[in-house]
Structure 1
Amino acid sequence: MRPTLPTLLRLAALVILVAFVAWPEWFAPVFRPLTQNNAPAIYNQGSLLTLTLTHLRTVLIATVAATIVAVGLAILVTRPIGVEFLPLSRSLVNIGQTFPPVAVLALAVPAVGFGEKPTLIALFLYGLLPIFENALTGLTTLPQPVTEAARGVGMTGWQRLIKVELPLALPVILAGIRLSVVISLATATIGSTVAAKTLGEVIIAGLLSNNLAFVLQGGLIVGILAVLTYDGLSALEALVARRAGVSTAVGE
């Protein structure tokens, strides 16, 4: 099967992104027209590759933590023993969306100090809602004949959850994770205001020095990462859905 034009464009974007963060000096002629007064055309206050990797690491840690908590809460409130905790759980996961990330950072810094920790807290809180709501949707919209058949063959509640419910709900859960990751990739840039090592450093340096080239470099890296991550997780979601024999329309 020949690759389609969108696939080729994604591959080209990935190659350009890797080349830029690894060897940014190659692209200096592209960004030099955006500079003034002989300012550097390429960010020179740190390694773009290192900042990109630490940015991704921060998002990954926050997303994994948010996924564990959000899916755990969704499982709890869809069991008979925990259904009464649904309103409380919804209130808890909405906290991150109620408070702006900047406000969360301001509240977290006095407690945990500057650096990556307050950024992780902000991203964790901000990423809970889409994962929780999608996990809840996935676990409450399962095909009734399948769940009844699982009960009919004598599966315990734990066996139904692991072998039937979670596999069927996984595509919808992945859709929530996808949304959470894309939000976190952009939101993580503000972590640099509290000394976290993210791509926000490049954007802030550009704003402080009135260097549009720096601002564009930071923004482009984050934007391309978000697009490629979104597409990659969408492909994974579709693959899981095909294997599970379910539709991904729910939770989109």
Structure 2
Amino acid sequence: MSVFSALLRIALLALLVTFIAAPQVFAPVFEPLTSHGAPAIYNQGSLVALTLSHLWTVFVATLGSIVVAVSLGIFVTRPSGLEFLPLSRTIVNVGQTFPPVAVLAIAVPLVGFGEAPTLIALFLYGLLPIFENTLTGLTQVSPLTLDAARGMGMNARRRLVEIELPLALPVILAGIRLSLVINLSTATIGSTVAAKGLGEVIIAGLQSNNTAFVVQGGLVVAMLAFFIHDAFRLIERRAGRYQSAQASA
């Protein structure tokens, strides 16, 4: 990453944090998007609180997806679990088969309004990329490497923890990154079932025909997705360098 690119990212991050913490400073920027004296800045709640709620919902749902998808990926790459691979693929595809809105419609009568149905929808939606990348990462580990580990006296558990998972980590992280970025935008629909998040800003704008609100909500979500994507790419590159160093050691 060049110095200019790094400085640009720092400047954009500072701009995002400033906007979330003190949005009224940017009122002149958004005033051209309003009409009939409508407020230029979202004024029905705290952007800080909504952003934190949005991130919390996404991270909790993604954490659940990671635990289930990685565990399932490990299970179906073991000899005892190979026959369950088709069934596992069918299960994780459910979240992608049904749109999140449909999952919300099913979940609300079961768990009520609020954060719970949104967590269910995001959890299901985030399973597929993490599962497939876990599967890819683990199956790409060289049989020669595993044979060498076996020859060193490592049992199956040690091979998994010390060899397979570290080597598969960059690919697994890529799946987690994809899941997070998808869920950051998808989480905005949670506001339709009374979940706290940045979707409230967008929905308020649509209901009041205030383009400024819609743009603000969309911009914050997009910038959060950009920075999280960027952070995970950095972690993936470092994991990849570590993997290369271990392979050459």
Q: TM-score range by the shorter chain?
A: over 0.9
Residue in 2 aligned with 1:156?
A: 155
Letter in 1 for 2:227: L
| 2:95 equivalent to 1:96 | yes
Residue in 2 aligned with 1:250?
A: none
1:1-252 to 2 correspondences below 5 Å:
3-245=2-244
Q: Unaligned 5+ residue runs, structure 1?
A: 247-252
Q: Following the alignment from structure 2 to structure 1, what is the Cα–Cα distance between the partners of residues 186 and 125?
A: 9
CA drift of 1:7 comes to 1.9
Q: Following the alignment from structure 1 to structure 2, what is the Cα–Cα distance between the partners of residues 184 and 13?
A: 22
Runs of 4+ in 1 over 6 A off after TM superposition: none
Superposed CA offset, 1:10-57 (max 9, x none): 111111110000011111111111111111110000000110000000
Superposed CA offset, 1:204-231 (max 9, x none): 0000000000000000000000111101
Q: Following the alignment from structure 1 to structure 2, what is the Cα–Cα distance between the partners of residues 22 and 61?
A: 23
SS at match of 2:80: coil
Q: Following the alignment from structure 1 to structure 2, what is the Cα–Cα distance between the partners of residues 117 and 30?
A: 36
CA drift of 1:8 comes to 1.9
Cα RMSD over matched residues? 1.0
**Where is the helix percentage greater, Structure 1 or Structure 2?**
2
Q: Following the alignment from structure 2 to structure 1, what is the Cα–Cα distance between the partners of residues 185 and 2?
A: 29
Letter in 1 for 2:178: L
CA drift of 1:145 comes to 2.0
CA drift of 1:91 comes to 0.2
Letter in 2 for 1:205: A
Q: Following the alignment from structure 1 to structure 2, what is the Cα–Cα distance between the partners of residues 3 and 19?
A: 24
Superposed CA offset, 1:134-178 (max 9, x none): 000000010222111111101010010001000000000000000
Identical counterparts, % of pairs = 65
TM-score normalised to structure 2 length = 0.97
Q: Following the alignment from structure 2 to structure 1, what is the Cα–Cα distance between the partners of residues 232 and 67?
A: 18
Q: Following the alignment from structure 1 to structure 2, what is the Cα–Cα distance between the partners of residues 195 and 27?
A: 27
Q: Following the alignment from structure 2 to structure 1, what is the Cα–Cα distance between the partners of residues 38 and 5?
A: 36
CA drift of 1:184 comes to 0.2
Q: Following the alignment from structure 1 to structure 2, what is the Cα–Cα distance between the partners of residues 143 and 229?
A: 31
CA drift of 1:5 comes to 2.4
TM-score normalised to structure 1 length = 0.95
Q: How many equivalent pairs are there?
A: 245
Q: Following the alignment from structure 1 to structure 2, what is the Cα–Cα distance between the partners of residues 4 and 69?
A: 39
Q: Following the alignment from structure 1 to structure 2, what is the Cα–Cα distance between the partners of residues 144 and 31?
A: 58
CA drift of 1:3 comes to 4.6
SS at match of 2:167: helix
